[in-house]
Amino acid sequence: QVQLVESGGGLVQAGGFLRLSCAASGGIFSAYAMSWFRQAPGKEREFVAGVRESLVTSYAASVRGRFTISRDNAKNTVYLEMNRLKPEDSAVYSCAADPTGRLTGRYDYWGQGTQVTVSS
């Protein structure tokens, strides 16, 4: 059983920076594709960014160029660096693990999420 724990959320002003972390335990972290999702109140959960086992990354259009996903397999951790934050980036951010390693959309494991609030 894989457990995912997010951290790093908080309140930041527009234009600011946050770095989210997602620490994994159990399973073979290096074999998983890891993604970040977010959900704002009253909205559907949306894909933000993902990194494959091969280290190939993928981003939602709304965050491309501002957010960077990375992983440290030695630490079983995936990161999301968020720059030039906007109020519309406010949401609960969750990480998820895809055991296929290829961002197929099969997310068997989810974290509890961390709140990000961007003030204008």
Identity of the residue numbered 10: G
Q: What is the pLDDT of residues 1-60, one digit of tens each?
A: 899 999 999 999 999 999 999 999 988 999 999 999 999 999 999 999 999 999 999 999
**pLDDT tens-digit readout, 63-80:** 999 999 999 999 999 999
Token reading at 3: 């457990």
Q: According to the model, what pLDDT value does residue 37 have?
A: 98
Tens-digit pLDDT profile for residues 45-62:
999 999 999 999 999 999
The CA-atom distances, in angstroms, between 75 and each of 42, 66, 72, 115 are 34, 24, 5, 23
Task: Please tell me the predicted confidence (pLDDT) of residue 2.
Answer: 92
Q: Which two tokens stand for residue 115?
A: 């709140």
Summarised one tens digit per residue, pLDDT across range 87-115 is: 999 999 999 999 999 999 899 999 999 99
Question: How many angstroms separate the CA atoms of 97 and 2, rounded?
Answer: 8
Chain position carrying tokens 């109020």: 87
Q: According to the model, what pLDDT value does residue 111 have?
A: 97
